[in-house]
Chains A and B, each alone.
Chain A
Amino acid sequence: MATKISLWFLAIASPAILLALLLGTRTSEWAFAVLAAAFPLALIALGAGRGAGALKVGLVALLVFYEACFLGLLTLHGRDAPWLFGLPLATLLQLGIFLAPLPAVALLYAWTFERHGLRRRDLEELRARFGRGEGGG
């Protein structure tokens, strides 16, 4: 299910992003931001394959975080926004996008690795079945 949703999203988002880059209106900027924020997460869900279910909560949380930050940046763009900790709020949001998801993404990967990433028995089975060079090519 997650694979299908990811593929549909990627298939629709790709031409939509291209269109946004050709049109360049204010709406295009918003559309590009929303789609670009979700694009890597859709690829993660696609890559996780059978393990995507275990990532559901994490990926949705990341999606909400990224979309909120990018929509915040667009809202604050060009405005005289408040300053916090010596920097404009928008700059802080940018630093937040840089730092906050880092441990979440990395630990989510490690946490799901044993069950859905690469199990030892799967690796051994692959080596036993195919070994190097037996598959042709």
Chain B
Amino acid sequence: MTGLAQPAVIASSLAYLAVVLAIGVWAARRTHDARDFFIAGQGIGLVVTTLATMSAAFSGFLFLGGPGLTYRLGVSSFFISVPVSFTAGLLCWTVAKRLRLLAEVREIYTVPDAVLARFRSRRASGLAAVAVIAGTVGYLGAQLQALGLVLDSIFGTGLAAGMAVGVVVVLAYATAGGMVAGVYTDVVQGALMIAAALGVFYYALESGGGLGAIGRTLAESGDFGPGFLDPLGAAPLTALGFYFVFGVGVLGQPQMLHKFYMLDDPRKLKWFPLALSSSQALVVLLWIGIGLAVPALVASGRLAPLASPDDAAPAFLLGFAPPLLAGIVFAGVLAAIMSTADSFVNIAAAALVHDLPKAFGRPVRRELARGRWAVVGVTVASALFAFLYGDLIALLGTFAYGTFAAALAPAFAVGLNWRRVTPAAATASIAVGLALNLGLELWGRQAWFPALPKPPLAAGALPSAAALAASFTVLFVVTWWTSTRDDDIDADVAAVMEM
């Protein structure tokens, strides 16, 4: 069944699209220069920053990919979102304050800008920009895949056509409004999703007869069985890998780090962990509810087995949630995808027209105009990549998240807090994290050379977890190898690191 049979779903989704377009037009009028385009003029308060960060973190990956992954792996997939209990605090203690203070003393727009300020290395900054672009292509691809799935669910367009429509809408939206549009769409999306997640969680539990009945149904089912409810699942290294990558890797996610530059007053960070982690925990209820209810409904014969695990959320919403709520959630998911996509295209555009030219010593003059062209290139490349990747949204998202994590988290987490980390160590860590994550992922998936053995990882080990651990290892080894007693840090950056 598509949403076409349910007018409330169509009406809510169209109403949402109208709101998004209105925000885009309004934002375009407020976007005057590169500072507005990339960091929303650094004039955003706590609530908006919180909702924008949550929306950037929780996107089509969580709302559609999450329940899909649970359908395939069981509750071990929840380890992707379990770390939200501490990630907001970890972000604030480890990087947020220093990144925001760097923006007090330097003209900083992007994550590679911060790498350049801290390490005074154009090579490290350029590599960080490459990592940002590589991860963005994967992450944006996951968003576009999710967007295609939603449009297909509502309008019956088919996945490819849905993705094509999605590319056009994202392009129109992101090229016009830049980060201002993204941030304010995040606010609409965040507020919508918190309200909708509670409703969906209630209906998900009710549809399965309550948590206890869902648990019993799953445990007794031949298709799912007791292993579905085992948090460590069939492969403990996978579950633990999710926890490690999503718990520690949060420190390298540019779509979240970038938001700290926008906060108008750094002292507002005081309540940021409480606001962010609470709102994230509420929204995760949507994943947990649908993730448990759909397999139970399939096990009890009330829902046909899914053609693709990624159909879990649309199948539940269209079949078991009240139409108005389904419409709100679809609208919220569209908003989530749109705002995250917008954040990513702008971050990648900044990497292309701001960071890379700077790394080569040739800054671009008309960044705003070039940035809009870069948006087009990144969006089209991402859609093609997602189409060719051809797997679950959550797995594509995990790969992209892992790329950012392995390449950037060690250099930021340790580099901003330990003066002895050298430019050579940061460069090596970024290079190894990026190359290893991309290499292991492509090596594990390649089918061109059947005789080639699989990567030397244990069964169930995530390539991104290995790449992240390797990146940290390289950072420490090269630091001890190259560091001297006299660090080479600018006085203003050193002052920020001391605070």
Task: Name A's B-contacting residues (CB within 8 A).
Answer: 3, 7, 10-11, 14-15, 17-18, 20-25, 28-29, 32-33, 36, 39-40, 43-44, 46-49, 62, 73-74, 76-78, 80, 83, 85-88, 90-91, 93-94, 97-103, 105-110, 113-114, 117-118, 120, 122-123, 126-127, 129-137
Contact = CB atoms under 8 A, between A and B. Distances in A.
A126 B278 CA distance: 31
A43 B273 contact: no
Interface majority SS (helix, strand, loop, mixed), chain B: helix
A79 to B, nearest CB: 9
Interface string B208-222: 001111111001000
Contacts of B470: 14, 18
A130 B492 contact: yes
A22 B270 contact: no
A73 B233 CA distance: 11
A117 to B, nearest CB: 7
A88 B226 contact: yes
Contacts of A3: 417-418
Contacts of B277: 102, 105-106
B83 interface: yes
B15 to A, nearest CB: 33
Interface string B287-310: 000000000000000000000000
B205 to A, nearest CB: 10
A46 B251 CA distance: 13
A102 B85 contact: yes
Given A43-B248, A90-B230, A24 B213 contact: no
A48 B97 CA distance: 10
22 contacts: A14-B470, A14-B476, A21-B241, A21-B466, A22-B466, A24-B237, A33-B240, A47-B417, A49-B498, A78-B230, A88-B219, A90-B232, A98-B82, A98-B84, A98-B85, A106-B277, A109-B93, A122-B499, A126-B499, A130-B105, A131-B105, A133-B106
Contacts, number: 245
Contact of B81 (A28, A73, A98): A98
A47 B106 contact: no
Contacts of B460: 24
Contact of B281 (A87, A88, A98): A98
Contacts of A134: 105, 492
A123 B266 contact: yes
B451 interface: no
Nearest to A46: B417
B97 A7 contact: no
A45 B447 CA distance: 44
A106 B87 CA distance: 10
A22 B495 contact: no
B473 A15 contact: yes
Q: List the 5 closest pairs (A to B, CB-CB), nearest first.
A: A24-B458, A86-B212, A135-B492, A47-B94, A14-B472
Contacts of B270: 109-110, 113-114, 117-118
Nearest to B106: A137
A65 B170 CA distance: 43
Given A47-B93, A98-B85, A73 B241 contact: no
A109 B277 CA distance: 12
B212 A21 contact: no
A135 B233 CA distance: 51
Contacts of B496: 126
A86 B277 CA distance: 26
Contacts of A85: 211-212
Nearest to B211: A86
Contact of B89 (A25, A32, A108, A120): A108
Contacts of B216: 86
A40 B245 CA distance: 11
Contact of B243 (A20, A36, A136): A36
User: Counting chain A CB atoms within 10 Å of each CB, which of B89, B101, B462, B470 scores highest?
Assistant: B89
